[in-house]
Amino acid sequence: MKLHYKLLTLFATLFLASQIVFAELIAIPDLTSRITDLTHTLSPDQQNLLENKLQTFEQKKGSQIAVLIVPTTGQEDIAQYSIRVVEKWKLGREKVDDGVLVLVAKEDRKMRIEVGYGLEGVIPDIYAKRIISEAMAPKFKQGDFAGGINDGVDRLIGLVDGEALPAPISNESNGLGVMDILPILLFGGLITGLILRGMFGTFFGSALNGSLLGGLVWLLGVALGGAAIFGVVAFFITMLLGGRGINGYGGRNYPTSGGYDGGGWSSSDSSSSWSGGGGDFGGGGASGDW
């Protein structure tokens, strides 16, 4: 009987110990939007407002800023928790490393601005500290969390806006170059070639098709010389196409570039899923309390 109790105590102790070990690290929430509020401090309206502001900024500047409000960071220092969050979220663009995390641990009364490698020059630790103590902390003291975060975010945007970062557009078109849509271009070119030959005769149809394709490639960002060569090649291929072309197709069902321009980047998706761009952090930024 005694042994029975002893065993029970042992198991209970072991169980509790394992619980403590598990409780040591606070889990990091999944990144689904720019504003992650686990404490329900912000109203949906306030969240939307911030979300829109940050989204607009990202589209304009390419830099990703996110806000996370948690009840507590547990055993960890807020800086340790924060670096774990950004290592998982990867805010900012890859190589540019232009992400910023605004982290608030509400019950701990602590906050931190975590700055990506690429922005350590524009947001030095001193500035981050000042944003915390001058813009955020006073409002937090009055219980105005939305206002404090909003002011902090505004000042961060102001700083980042003054920095010459790679433009977001060029970054996107890099991700979707001519090479990616080459199969579509070739296939589309073949069809338009046949149609144009049917409409304008072999020579003029081919010339038209060649110049159209060359122009399209040029619009997609290829250098003028490269586009010209592409167009000439397209002209010869169209000339050499077998058959006499498809006759009788009226109208202009020429496949335009619609669908390839710009879109397809996760950030342009406002609500459903948003993810970090692969930016790195090295512990820059500042912490503070209120």
Partner 1 sequence: MKNLFYRVATVTLLLALSGCGYNQFQSLDEESKASWSEVLNQYQRRADLVPNLVATVKGYVEHEEKVLTEVADARSKVGSMQVTPEVLNNPEAFAKFQAAQGQLTGALSRLMAVAENYPNLKADQGFRDLQAQLEGTENRVTVARNRYIETVKEYNVAVRSFPNNLTAMMFGYKTKPSFTVENEKEISAAPKVEFGDKK
* Residue numbers at the binding site for partner 1 (CB under 8 A): 77, 79-80, 83, 109, 124-126, 128-129, 133, 281-289
Is the Cβ of residue 54 or residue 102 nearer to partner 1 in the bound state? 102
Report the Cα 159 to chain-centroid distance in Å. 19
Cα–Cα distance measured from residue 193 to residue 213, given in angstroms and rounded to the nearest whole number: 10
Least distance (Å) between residue 5 CB and partner 1: 37
Least distance (Å) between residue 124 CB and partner 1: 8
User: Of 168, 235, 150, 228, which is closest to residue 200 (Cα–Cα)?
Assistant: 235
Is the Cβ of residue 231 or residue 288 nearer to partner 1 in the bound state? 288
Least distance (Å) between residue 24 CB and partner 1: 14
Least distance (Å) between residue 107 CB and partner 1: 14
Is the Cβ of residue 262 or residue 282 nearer to partner 1 in the bound state? 282
Cα–Cα distance measured from residue 25 to residue 32, given in angstroms and rounded to the nearest whole number: 21
Q: Which residues on adjacent β-strands are paired with residue 126?
A: none
Phi, psi of 243 (to 5 degrees): 75, -175
Is the Cβ of residue 172 or residue 289 nearer to partner 1 in the bound state? 289
Q: Which residues make Cβ contacts (< 8 Å) with residue 248, sequence separation at least 6?
A: 198
Length of the chain measured in residues: 290
**Full 3-state SS string of 104-118:** EECCCCEEEEEEEHH
Least distance (Å) between residue 13 CB and partner 1: 25
Least distance (Å) between residue 1 CB and partner 1: 43
Structure tokens, 130: 């000042």
Cα–Cα distance measured from residue 112 to residue 161, given in angstroms and rounded to the nearest whole number: 21
Is the Cβ of residue 68 or residue 132 nearer to partner 1 in the bound state? 132
Report the Cα 114 to chain-centroid distance in Å. 17
Is the Cβ of residue 79 or residue 176 nearer to partner 1 in the bound state? 79
Is the Cβ of residue 3 or residue 126 nearer to partner 1 in the bound state? 126
Structure tokens, 105: 């641990």
Least distance (Å) between residue 128 CB and partner 1: 8
The DSSP line for 128-165 is HHHIIIIIIHHHHHTT-HHHHHHHHHHHHHHHHHTS-P
